[in-house]
A and B are shown apart, each in its own frame.
Chain A
Amino acid sequence: MAKKFKTYNLPDNVEEHLKPEHINESDVILDVRGLTKFFPIKKGFFKKEVGNVRAVDHVNFFLREGETLGMVGESGCGKTTASRTVIRLYEATDGAAYFKSDVLSSNSEPVIVNIMDLDNEDMKKIRKEMSMVFQDPINSLNPRMSVYDIVAEPLVIHGQVNNKKNEQIVTSLLERVGLRASYMRRYPHEFSGGQRQRIGIARALALNPKIIFCDEPVSALDVSIQAQTLNLLKDLQADFNLSYVFVAHDLSVVQHISDRVAVMYVGKVAEVADSDELYNNPLHPYTEALLSSVPKPDPKYESHRIHMQGEVADPSNPPSGCYFHPRCQYAEEVCKVETPEYRELKHDHFVSCHRAEELQLRGV
């Protein structure tokens, strides 16, 4: 029976903020526009909605083929929620994510789809092209499944149940991530943290994805193991032409692995730029303050630390205007009233700050 394909056309009657902007560029494979995720706060007997936690609030970013986009920010800034909403582990409140998909295409040309519009059947197919590596290598592996079962599970879910063939695939995957294939029948508790993270990476690779969302993949590991894992991720990227969305809070790790970096603050993207550009010439005061807080492994280094006043804003009750203004040392009247526009100030350098043009900020 000839397979019937649904046709996908880019919608032209969408609201202004959801219009695709970068996906038509040849090397862009994911274009996220106006992504929003609010978690309702329910109270009382009738579970009446009394407010929202604005976890991700109109976020725009895009991802090029074979590149790593780092996402940094303090805990609770929505970096994990943003990446999970893109692959619809959470349903988005609003927004669009345009993706160039091979599996949904009826010919050899990839087709551009809006992930948020897909039905269940197509969503399952497209998940082959997007996988995830989780933070906690202990809790993200089922203790009652052997390594073989864990790594082969995505294959089985997608209908590939030939044990012999799966065994070959698992063997080559395990060897690729630096584990012995003879470990296949062992269980997760028999491995160290770094090895478990390798199992997680092998599982993510099983279906030949195009994008891997890495949610803090190295923050639970020791420094020497962290270096091994980062090197492995880089090698795999080169071999399989993978694109990574790399969520982490360690700014030096993010700089090392990323081509571009997005800085998030209370559900919004404060700044996106090429990683060298961002670390050397930040345009957003929040980026500057974050960079100044990183302890440098050099006892001779004189710190120019900027003290941010107070605490991170509450995402269920954010301040007016620019969310960062109560902690910003450059804040003016306009920052308290108006939400800054997210704009491309230099080539490939996006920022949302009223005073980005005039401020001279310090990098590292």
Chain B
Amino acid sequence: MKQPLIEIKDLHVQFEVRDGIVKAIQGASFKIMRGQTTGIIGESGCGKSITAKAIMQMVPKPGKITQGEILYHYRDKRNPGQEDIVNITKLDPDGPRIRRIRGGEIGMIFQEPMSSLTPVYSTGQQIGESLKLHRMIPKKVGDQMDAAIMEYRHVTKEEAREIGIDMLRKVGLPKPQERIDSYPHQLSGGQRQRVMIAIALSCEPMMLIADEPTTALDVSIEAQILDLMRELQEREDMAIMFITHNLGVVAEMAEDIIVMYMGKQVERASALNVFYEAKHPYTKALLESIPHVGKRDRERLASIKGMVPSPFELPPGCVFHPRCPAFMPGKCDVIEPSWQEVQDDHWVSCLLYEEV
């Protein structure tokens, strides 16, 4: 039933800068299933956003994908039976194929709704841009026996406006006919984020990458945006890759969760397993360090000791060992843990679950 849409295999991304090499992602491997939400959690600098950018071939310079592959199972909407496998890492970052994927087949919502819209274009123009590039409209050109011969053409300006208004209505923006002519500064933060979502969804993507989509928003608006994303996902059967550091949001949205720390995936399991049977000490510590609303004890929060290490001097062995409460001297600081399945579909990379 579950079919993969994106398969990431042993992905490595490095940044060569003056002070050395930053290994932003070291061996990420996971799958994103069709119609499902995959949550990626971790602290800043752990490689969440770079993973998302690697899928779009948008790793900022001087970053490079040095190893691994990203397989994209492409199905043409006009001919859904057939499946092509495209290796995104092999595509030319400026080529026509990746430009069809970006924004067309995979949509993306960025973290900052304030700065990811152009201030000099109206909402309608910004939605229209992606529509003009990606949205095709079928046109019947003739009949052959009982099958219609269809041709596809790009949308016109007027149609783009119509679709734009319709999208704004779908994302719940009041008075879409007027809003289509507003500029970003005339909209509030929540409204701008809705416009971003409308742009990302206007081309009916197979997958939506949401990079901290609600971090800058208030809880009430956040709740509206999350509901909206879930509703649209059900309607369009779209996969969502949800990047966040808010554990509450990820618990609500995701079916599968990947926990990352310093460029490595440390745990992957279903949301239930991550929250109730976390295996990795880092995941456990993360879960304990957040205050729960409603459950209040006067005690201190369990915090993770120390700080995230410098990306230039990653500790040997397991990268988490200097901060780990279950640190085993002689093992964790020497041996690098491997990625293995400890339970049914519950993967973890920790020496506690390994025989060494």
Contact = CB atoms under 8 A, between A and B. Distances in A.
A297 B248 contact: yes
B272 A297 contact: no
Interface of B: 43-44, 174, 188-191, 218-224, 226-227, 245-252, 271-272, 275, 285-287, 289-294, 296, 300-304, 307-308
Nearest to B297: A256
A134 B289 CA distance: 22
Contact of B275 (A75, A295, A299, A364): A299
A17 interface: no
Interface of A: 74-75, 192, 194-195, 222-228, 230-231, 234, 249, 251-253, 255-256, 275-276, 279-280, 289-301, 303, 305, 307-308, 310-311, 363-364
Contact of B223 (A223, A279, A293): A293
Given A227-B303, A295-B222, A279 B294 contact: yes
Nearest to A301: B251
Most chain A CB neighbours (cut-off 10 Å) among B218, B219, B251 = B219
Contact of B252 (A253, A296, A308, A311): A296
Nearest to A225: B307
Contacts of B289: 223-224, 226-227
A228 B44 CA distance: 16
Most chain B CB neighbours (cut-off 10 Å) among A195, A225, A227 = A227
Contacts of B223: 292-293, 295, 305, 307
Contacts of A301: 251-252
A359 to B, nearest CB: 19
A224 B301 CA distance: 10
Contacts of A252: 248, 290-293
Nearest to A256: B291
B247 A256 contact: no
B240 to A, nearest CB: 15
Given A223-B43, A256-B291, A296-B293, A290 B219 contact: yes
Given A227-B303, A231-B300, A300-B272, A310 B43 contact: no
A224 B45 CA distance: 13
Contacts of A300: 272
A307 B220 CA distance: 8
A297 B188 CA distance: 27
A295 B249 contact: yes
A355 to B, nearest CB: 20
A255 to B, nearest CB: 6
15 contacts: A223-B245, A223-B247, A223-B286, A224-B285, A231-B300, A234-B300, A280-B294, A292-B223, A295-B249, A296-B252, A296-B294, A297-B247, A297-B287, A297-B290, A299-B251
A252 B291 CA distance: 6
Contacts of A192: 307-308
Contacts of A251: 219, 293
9 tightest A-B contacts by CB? A295-B248, A256-B291, A364-B294, A227-B303, A227-B289, A293-B223, A252-B293, A227-B301, A224-B304
Given A192-B308, A222-B245, A300-B272, A227 B251 contact: no
Contact of A294 (B248, B275, B286): B248
A253 B291 contact: yes
A225 B305 CA distance: 9
A37 B174 CA distance: 30
A290 B221 CA distance: 10
B292 to A, nearest CB: 6
A295 B43 CA distance: 18
Nearest to A235: B300
A287 B37 CA distance: 30
B294 A297 contact: no
